Amino acid sequence: MIEEKNFMNRRISVIIPNYNSASTIGKCIETAFSSRYENFEIVVVDDCSTDNSADIIGKFPCRFIRLDRHYGASRARNTGAENSSGEILFFIDADCILQENTLELVNKAFDRAEDIITGGTYTLLPYNNDFFSTFQSIFINYFETKCDEPDYIATHAMAVAPDIFKKAGGFSEDFLPILEDIEFSHRLKKLGYRLKTIPEISVQHIFNFTLIKSLKNAFRKSMYWTIYSLKNKDLLADSGTASAELKINVVSYFFIVFFLLLYAFLKINILLIAILPVITFNLYINRRLLTAFYKAKGLAFGLSAALYYTMLYPLSVGTGSLYGIVRYLYNFK
């Protein structure tokens, strides 16, 4: 929790990278300007979009920078930081919606003297009310707020002082297409900075997820996270959404599938019995996440989310991880 005391109203630069986000960028900027906090600026960097994002952004009184070609989110964020005037750099994404008090909470939580990098997470419930978007928002909210001092701060809600950002070298522009916030966070920790999650600092995410989008997202993130983790030698680390619980869920899933296939060929009943303790152990390890699903949306959603999380989601995460291992071993681009 954020303690109540007298705070100076530091100038906050809200930095938003944009690439073909015409469907969300308008809502993102509009809600940012609806903030109760007054001392802020909005810096939007367009990464050479090919849709009508620029036309939408141009309707708002924000600082607008357009890159000459598509470089990636890291370059866009770095460019935004270089062209900001705030005492606090607050990074969000183009599909995020600031709450009225988000910037106020960022200011209250920010203390440069302690060398702490602060951040928040997604709201428990997303902008969309569909099952898969809700599942993803609860999933991320749970894992990103599980630890006060996390393994990383995500760029959908990251607050950092400009001098610290510059000293750390900004986001790596020669990196994987995603996870630049993970690499940046790890670099900050090596420099001696502490990371702190403030759950109250929240942004609402516009997912628009379907079953296919949910599974594709899980596959892609798992693939790149595995590649990075193998390079970083921390594949088994309990790291935010790449949590120990999720990894146990995936291993349990493939263990169960393996024994079911053996049973199909051998018809040995003890193979089915061996599955029961695996299911029990997995449910016990993931009990807090499954409880979070139930508390957020009730019993029907909780049961549906539990089934999706244990019976289908790990297939996408697991195959993504396996493909990541192959890409790492054979140095695929």
pLDDT digits (tens, 9 = 90+) for 217-276: 999 999 999 999 999 999 989 899 999 999 999 999 999 999 999 998 888 888 889 999
What pLDDT, on a 0 to 100 scale, did the predictor assign at position 175? Answer: 86
99-122: average pLDDT: 86
Contacts of residue 245, Cβ cutoff 8 Å, sequence gap at least 6:
143, 285, 286, 288, 289
Domains of the chain from N-terminus onward: 12-209 (3.90.550.10), 244-330 (no CATH)
What pLDDT, on a 0 to 100 scale, did the predictor assign at position 161? Answer: 94
What pLDDT, on a 0 to 100 scale, did the predictor assign at position 76? Answer: 97
The answer to whether 317 and 218 have CB atoms below 8 angstroms apart is yes
Flag whether pLDDT at 102 surpasses 70. yes
Q: Is 244 exposed, middle or buried (0-12, 13-18, 19+ CB in 10 A)?
A: middle
Report pLDDT digits (tens) over 181-190.
999 999 999 9
Q: Is 55 exposed, middle or buried (0-12, 13-18, 19+ CB in 10 A)?
A: exposed
What pLDDT, on a 0 to 100 scale, did the predictor assign at position 332? Answer: 64
What pLDDT, on a 0 to 100 scale, did the predictor assign at position 225? Answer: 96
Q: Which amino acid is at 168?
A: A
Calculate the average pLDDT of the chain: 93
Flag whether pLDDT at 2 surpasses 80. no
Which residues are bridge partners to 330 per DSSP? none
What pLDDT, on a 0 to 100 scale, did the predictor assign at position 148? Answer: 85
Structure tokens at 84: 């900001």
148-158: average pLDDT: 94
Report pLDDT digits (tens) over 285-311.
999 999 999 999 999 999 999 999 999
* Least confident interval from 19-28, 81-90, 128-137, 264-273: 264-273
The answer to whether 38 and 10 have CB atoms below 8 angstroms apart is no
Residue from 182, 105, 122, 206 nearest 157 by CA: 122
Long-range contacts from 238-241, C-beta under 8 angstroms, 24+ separation = 238/151, 239/151, 239/152, 239/182, 240/143, 240/144, 240/150, 240/151, 240/152, 240/154, 240/182, 241/139, 241/140, 241/143, 241/144
Given pLDDT bands bounded at 50, 70 and 90, which one contains residue 165? Answer: very high
What pLDDT, on a 0 to 100 scale, did the predictor assign at position 7? Answer: 59
Specify the pTM.
Answer: 0.93
